[in-house]
Amino acid sequence: MYRVVIVGRPNVGKSSLFNKLLGLRTAPEKATKAGSQFAVVADVPGVTRDLKEGVVESEQGRFKLIDTGGLWSGDVWEKKIKQKVERAIQEADLVLFAVDGRSDIVTADLEVADFLRRQGKPVLLVATKIDDPKHEAYLGSFYALGFGEPVPTSAAHSRGFDELLERIWALLPIRQEESEPEVVPIRLAIVGRPNAGKSSLLNAILGEERVIVSEIPGTTRDSIDVEFDYGGSRFLLVDTAGIRKRPETGVEEQAIVRAHQAIRDADVVLLVIDPKELGDHELKLANEALEAGKPVILTITKWDLIESKEEARRVRADLALKLSHVQHLPLLYVSSVTKQNLHKLLSEAARLYELARVRFETAELNRWLSVWSTQTQLPNFKGKPLKLFFLTQPEVAPPTFVFFCNHPEFVTRAFEGFLRNRIGEDLGLREIPFRMVFRGRREGKGAGERE
């Protein structure tokens, strides 16, 4: 797939440009799923630090669009941001050089222009924030950057994007695109509190510093999607900002909203836990994922910092106590430094992905229903017993089981818990969330439903 990279100094509207191109032809039914691909935008410099990727759908075809951090930012992240931009440009087919069309050329623009000339890639100059056609009269000075006539655009007013797409496709190299069938990747959302080791885990899995890692809490300020292949499976890793109760800035608040959305969009959630920082917060995140129907792997990070077998035993015992409510979930001890259990983490994720999509034959389910009905006393209300007639599974991911009965309102919490345990043990679904629905046999004739 073609790769187009957006480059520029901080706060010129790169992320707004990225979001607008990404959303031009996003079908309504795909808009929610694509939500985590859009970049966090705020009217302050330095919001974007890592590479942010998304796929642009256009009439001419598809290309991967990469948003980057602002070059010559003058802050502590400047060197690492430049390294990531250089890496992105090396793999690019075209660079979009974004400049603020309502501002004069500044030294940083000239530095970026000189930097891009040394990269040897095709460059298309894009002037942002041109909300009114009369502002185009002031774009002449940008010819001094050496990349020809700028394309005037306005993300706020949706101006200039048809022309921009035409110019992009005119500059992309002509080549025969591979017609391989698109493989839908397994989405793994990496979530947890700030500084739990999420970004280090992603970098260790990929074998490269794909996202910036720092001891400073809040370094990751947006959800970052990265696709890769492992063991014959295609994965999409989603690194998220650290989730905490009280965000300190509007940017952090946006990033946390994206992190919660990443949980809802995920196929499997990797709940990253610092063994020395475990609290109620992690249990709330686990419950959030499970209620959304997402399998969860309890991922205990920084295991290389455990210095002795005695400390390991003590930490394991403490974790077992604090995680007793979710003890049925898979748990792995990993290290981003020594790479301990990283391959197993991906294998477990693929296994849970497949398990959440197992569909049981109706005949098998009803054989089990017959067995379960003999293993306990069925609820009875004023002399009227609950009768279970039929069991079916209409949905997967999460698996959903529908029990047809005479009176759904007779189902007690204890009996529901019995059935949940039996499905978990007898059908092998103990490690993943599933749903149970109780319906009256004659829908629409006064019979109720309970879930």
Question: Per residue of the chain (451 residues), what is the pLDDT tens digit?
Answer: 899 999 999 889 898 899 999 887 544 444 444 444 554 444 444 444 568 888 898 888 889 999 988 786 665 567 778 888 898 899 999 999 999 999 999 999 999 999 999 999 999 999 999 998 888 888 989 999 999 999 999 999 999 999 999 999 999 987 655 555 567 899 999 999 988 999 899 989 988 877 655 555 444 445 678 888 888 889 999 988 777 766 666 656 777 888 898 999 999 999 999 999 998 989 999 999 999 999 999 999 999 999 999 999 999 999 999 999 999 999 999 999 999 999 999 999 999 999 999 999 999 999 999 999 999 999 998 889 999 999 999 999 999 999 999 999 999 999 999 999 999 999 999 999 999 999 997 544 445 677 7
How confident is the model at residue 258, as a pLDDT? 81
With a CB cutoff of 8 Å and minimum separation 6, the contacts of 327 are 320
> Which pair of structure tokens corresponds to residue 105?
């050329």
- Cα separation, 161 vs 167, whole angstroms: 10
Count Cα atoms within 13 angstroms, Cβ side, for 324. 4
Q: What angle do CA 58, 61, 63 make, to 5 degrees?
A: 85
Q: What is the pLDDT of residue 290?
A: 97
Is residue 255 a known part of a binding site?
no
- What's the pLDDT score for residue 309? 94
Q: Which domains does the chain have, with CATH numbers?
A: 2-26+46-171 (3.40.50.300), 186-356 (3.40.50.300), 362-440 (3.30.300.20)
61 is known to lie in a ligand binding site: no
Asked if residue 369 belongs to a known ligand binding site, the reply is no
Determine if residue 3 is labeled as part of a ligand binding site. Answer: no
- Say if residue 11 carries a ligand binding annotation: yes
Q: Does 192 carry a binding-site annotation?
A: yes
Torsion angle defined by CA atoms of residues 51, 203, 196 and 254, in that order, rounded to the nearest 10 degrees = 10
Exposure letters 334-350 (e unless 16+ CB within 10 A, then b): bbbeeebbbeebbebbb
pLDDT of residue 39: 46
69 annotated among ligand-binding-site residues: yes
Q: Identify the pLDDT of residue 205.
A: 93
Is residue 109 annotated as involved in ligand binding? no
To the question of whether residue 400 is assigned a binding role by annotation, the answer is no
Q: Is 141 annotated as a binding residue?
A: no
Annotated binding-site residue? 158: no
Q: Is 216 annotated as a binding residue?
A: no
Looking at residue 212, its pLDDT comes to 52
67 is in an annotated binding site: yes
**Is there a binding annotation on residue 371?**
no
242 assigned binding-site residue: yes
306 in a known ligand binding site: no
